[in-house]
Amino acid sequence: MNITELLADFQARQDEATARAGDLRDQIEHLAAALTETEARLADLATTRKVIAELATARAESEPPERATAYQAILNAFNQHPDQAFRVRELHELLGIPTDDPAMNVTRSRLGRLTRQGFLTQPGRGRYQKRT
């Protein structure tokens, strides 16, 4: 092998290494972009999880008691004030339950059920009282 062939061989190897280095740089750029996107996605997911956890905690603290407890709390309020007729909002304020429409609709359903079961009466539209 003479010097010319040796130099040609080195040039071929250098060209291959240069091409390989270019391919690796392209892969690095692609992987860096993918890493940046994935890290942004992770940050979004962490933020979403944190917000949902905070909302769930706040909601759990503001929700009325569970079904059996809610019925018992309602009946206890009527037992403490047997001669008083309550509107749903007044009952919520007495029990410390939020007065938003969805919560009050749930209580209306419960009061209707307690009325049908004979625990309460309805002396007027939207008013409920303990049956005597």
Which is higher by pLDDT, 42 or 69?
Answer: 42
In the structure, what pLDDT confidence band is assigned to residue 87 with cuts at 50, 70 and 90?
very high
| d(C-alpha 81, C-alpha 113), whole Å | 19
What is the pTM assigned to this prediction?
0.48
Query: What share of the chain in percent tops pLDDT 90?
Result: 62
- State percent of the chain over pLDDT 70: 93
Q: What is the helix (H) or strand (E) element at residue 130, kind and residue range? A: strand 127-130
Those residues with Cβ within 8 angstroms of residue 103's Cβ, 6 or more apart along the chain or in another chain: 64, 92, 97
Residue 47 has pLDDT above 70, yes or no: yes
Mean pLDDT to the nearest integer, 72-92: 91
Q: Report the half-sphere exposure of 24 (CA within 13 A, side-chain side).
A: 6
pLDDT band at 56 (very low <50, low <70, confident <90, very high): confident
Task: Count Cα neighbours of 35 within 13 Å in the Cβ-side half-sphere.
Answer: 6
Mean residue pLDDT of the chain comes to 89
Check whether 116 has a pLDDT greater than 90.
yes
Give the whole-angstrom CA distance, residue 88 versus residue 120.
13
